[in-house]
Amino acid sequence: MLKWKRIAVTAEDGYEQIEDALAGMSGKDRVIKYLGETNHFSGSRLRVYRDADQIVDLDAYILTAEAPFLPMDLPLAEGQLCKIGVENNIGAKQLFILVIGYTETG
């Protein structure tokens, strides 16, 4: 079953704001399948980290109302943490709504 998580991130202009999003758990196999960002501003970048490794650095303007999600296949092992956020370079403080679609078995 595909599950969705919504994360609200407020970022000051010129800064990256990252939030804890999803963790690997004992007895559960979690795999991130989709990422999305609802604002689609040019100058904002969608960022995803798994532990200390940066996995995604995407200009959010590439995501559109017609194609709002970035397909992925990012497994999270027990103890691994996925963080998601934005780098804001749009000229003003902004609230960004980010979404993660993931599967969970076990």
Q: Which two tokens stand for residue 28?
A: 């559960």
Q: Which domains does the chain have, with CATH numbers?
A: 2-105 (2.60.120.1330)
Whole-structure pTM value: 0.90
Kindly tell me the sign of the dihedral angle through the C-alpha atoms of 87, 93, 5, 38. Answer: negative
- The pLDDT-based confidence of 6 (bands split at 50, 70, 90) is very high
C-alpha 72: how far from chain center:
11
Residue 40 has pLDDT above 90, yes or no: no
Alpha-helical (H) ranges within the chain are none
Whether the CB-CB separation of 49 and 16 falls below 8 Å is answered with no
